[in-house]
Amino acid sequence: EFNELVLEFPNSVVACDLTVFDYYKRGKSYDDNLKDLALNYPALASKCRKLTIFQNANVSLAYTLFYHNIIRYFTHFEKHKMPFVFTLYPGGGFVLENDRVNEQLSRICKSHYFRGVIVNQPYVFNYLCEKDICDENKITLVSGAPINIENYRVEHIDESKFDNPELDILFMANKYMIQGFDKGFDLFQLIAKQLIIQMPKTKFHVIGNFSEGD
């Protein structure tokens, strides 16, 4: 996702605050991880900078991912009069039917410097409208998840694989609420119940912090 952004906006910088770096560093330093990133995404790696408290105060637009990031930097954007956009994916601190979260989002979306919010689930779009959190004309729905399609291209497709009665279906997400509703786990369950009747050999796999009880 960020690779596409830096290609689209050449005069851009990706500011890394390293708050969760220890979780993802794989025993490597920041510089070593940056070298690894450069192997597949040279344009992105060249734009990455360690964030300092006053870095990039004079920019035409700031962009963040997830609720917890916009919460962390909202006062900074306001203080330095920085126009901003953010993406509100499920999870990342965004909890449905939470008064505190709704109040925070409403305050952010009413900011003079707020330019828009991007959502990737229709229910999030409807939620922001129904709760009067954000004006509809400032919400952009881009369904699905950003992926690099080049990673999935194959030169030859073995069509015989589609005749195989055995099918493996994977659901992968973190659980943040009952039934995993914000990630569509309830729909996954409904589909599984119907599909297993038609294709008894289907196998379902779940990756994430769900349990056998789920």
> Which helix H or strand E contains 62, and what residues bound it?
strand 62-65
pLDDT at 141: 96
Per-residue pLDDT reduced to its tens digit, 115-148: 999 999 898 999 999 999 999 999 999 987 777 7
Cβ-based neighbours of 190, under 8 Å, separated by 6 or more = none
CA R_g for the chain: 20
pLDDT, tens digit (0-9, with 9 covering 90-100), for 67-85: 999 999 999 999 999 999 9
Q: Is the pLDDT score of 14 beyond 90?
A: yes
| Strand ranges, E, within 70-213 | 84-87, 114-119, 139-141, 168-172, 203-207
Scanning the structure block, which residue is given the tokens 């050449």? 10
**pLDDT greater than 80 at residue 154:** no
Whether the predicted pLDDT of 164 surpasses 70: no
Q: Look at residues 66, 69, 47 and name the one whose alpha carbon lies nearest to residue 3.
A: 47
How crowded is residue 179: how many other Cβ atoms within 10 Å of its Cβ? 14
DSSP of 188-211: HHHHHHHHHHH-TT-EEEEESS--
Hey, is 170 helix, strand or coil?
A: strand
pLDDT on residue 67: 94
- Greater confidence (190 vs 152) lies with 190
Reduced to 3 states, what is the DSSP secondary structure of residue 105?
Answer: helix
The two structure tokens encoding residue 128: 């922001």
Report the C-alpha gap between 117 and 137 in whole angstroms. 10
Question: Which pLDDT does position 92 carry in this prediction?
Answer: 85
Phi, psi at residue 209, to the nearest 5°? -90, 40
Q: Which of 129, 145, 17 is nearest to 89 (CA)?
A: 145
Query: Per the confidence metrics, is the pTM higher than 0.85?
Result: no
At 39, list the tokens: 């192997």
* Cβ–Cβ under 8 Å, residues 85 and 63: yes
C-beta atoms surrounding 188 within 10 Å: 18
List phi, psi (to 5°) of 115.
Answer: -115, -20
State phi, psi for 87 to the nearest 5 degrees.
-105, 130
- Separation between Cα atoms, residue 70 and residue 104, nearest integer Å: 10
